[in-house]
Amino acid sequence: MKKFLTLLFCSMFALAGFLGFNSSTVKADAVKYTVSAEIPNNQVNKKLTYFDLKVAPNSTQDLKIKIINNDSVEHTYDVAVNRASTNVNGLVDYSQHGTKKDPSLKYDIESMFPAPERITIPANTTKEVTLTLKVPNQKFSGVLLGGIRVLQEINNQKPSKKEFSVNNQFAYVIGLKLQQSTDEVKPDMKLTNVKAEQNNGQNNITADLQNDEPTLMDDVNVDATVTPENGTKSVLKVDKKNMSMAPNSNFAMPVSLNNQPLKAGKYTMHISANAEKGTDKWNMKRNFTVTPKAAAKLNTTAVGQASQPNYNLIIALIVAAALIVIGLLIWNFKNQRRRR
């Protein structure tokens, strides 16, 4: 429970920072609403302030939250139940709705609730919002993890000359954990794919890591090494610490080229990983190929990449110089024959 609560708070603050990206700092008095959960009787740990529920197959339950608008004007709030996912930084994320599901996911917590809704609350008013949970008929093991995200909509007001043009946004997230049994499920990690791609203008080799079990994976550490195919000499390496993975989720972990040109060739990705304070360990590898076409395309569009020799231009210049020399030799030979 402690690790889930820690991850929830970290995710909430990460979400707040993400939504306020490229804008001014959110002041404490700028957030004029609060959100809380009404804890029901089937709460596993009643000391927690988020939903930690033991549910039965084919059951229906109303979950209630309170949104308090402390502002002097009316506001509208977006309320959505989001499935927990794992973002590119190896953090559990509750900010997105309707994202692509991992192939190992059997029961989607988002499909157990109504679609996201908009709630309008008058000034200085508290409103109770009911979210109806419909548990599938089948039994499931492990946990289903998500979050109830409440986001205040921003009014379309023109900023003054002294203000930024991007509005601040802050979201509250109430954790949502469903289980039918408290029996522990052992985590598992798989390396499902490796490819060269570009993120934010930077070339990377990405390792697609998957947690294919219905359990939260905590204290995840990954050493990733790229070598020539089936070789031992490292050409790229990264060491990631203190990551987490949501149940039945995946993410593409980037291995940066550090602004060096991407070279075509055949390679092997080696992964050494552990979780839960080293109690679970995995060693995996996967071969992959970077084609000349893919390397040229990514290198052309990369930002801030170190300069590299233009081999095509060099070859063209050499050929041109050779043709000029041959032409001069032929011209000189013909001139000498004429003089004779």
The CATH number that domain 2-179 falls under is 2.60.40.10
Q: Can you tell me the mean pLDDT for 215-222?
A: 96
pLDDT of amino acid 159: 40
Domain 189-301 CATH class label: mainly beta
b/e map of 199-222 (b: 16 or more CB within 10 Å)?
eeebbbbbbbbbbbbbbbbbbbbb
Q: Is 283 exposed, middle or buried (0-12, 13-18, 19+ CB in 10 A)?
A: exposed
pLDDT of amino acid 31: 87
pTM (2 d.p.) = 0.78
- For residue 299, give both structure tokens: 């290198």
51 pLDDT higher than 60? yes
109 pLDDT higher than 60? yes
Average model confidence (pLDDT) across the chain: 86
307 pLDDT higher than 80? no
* Three-point CA angle 288, 294, 300, nearest 5°: 140
Listed range (29-33, 68-72, 241-245, 246-250) with the worst mean pLDDT: 29-33
pLDDT of amino acid 28: 46
236 pLDDT higher than 60? yes
Q: Can you tell me the mean pLDDT for 144-153?
A: 96
Is residue 84 very low, low, confident or very high in pLDDT (cuts 50, 70, 90)? Answer: very high
Q: Can you tell me the mean pLDDT for 203-221?
A: 96
pLDDT of amino acid 165: 39
pLDDT of amino acid 52: 97
- For residue 282, give both structure tokens: 């995995």
Is residue 259 very low, low, confident or very high in pLDDT (cuts 50, 70, 90)? Answer: confident
Q: Can you tell me the mean pLDDT for 114-126?
A: 96
pLDDT of amino acid 198: 92
CATH 2.60.40.10 domain position(s) in the chain: 2-179, 189-301
CA-CA distance, 209 to 222, in Å (whole number)? 10
Q: Which residue has the tokens 């609730």?
A: 113
pLDDT of amino acid 324: 84
CA-CA distance, 270 to 292, in Å (whole number)? 22
160 pLDDT higher than 70? no
Is residue 312 very low, low, confident or very high in pLDDT (cuts 50, 70, 90)? Answer: low
- For residue 220, give both structure tokens: 């995840």
Where is mean pLDDT largest: 19-28, 128-137, 195-204, 293-302?
128-137
How many Cβ atoms are within 10 Å of 312's Cβ, its own excluded?
9
Is residue 200 very low, low, confident or very high in pLDDT (cuts 50, 70, 90)? Answer: confident
48 pLDDT higher than 90? yes
Nearest of 62, 17, 7, 18 to residue 38 by alpha carbon: 62
Listed range (7-16, 68-77, 290-299, 307-316) with the worst mean pLDDT: 7-16
Task: Say which residue, 221 or 232, is predicted with more confidence.
Answer: 221
pLDDT in tens, 2-36: 555 555 544 543 444 333 323 333 444 578 999 99
Q: Which residue has the tokens 């233009």?
A: 310
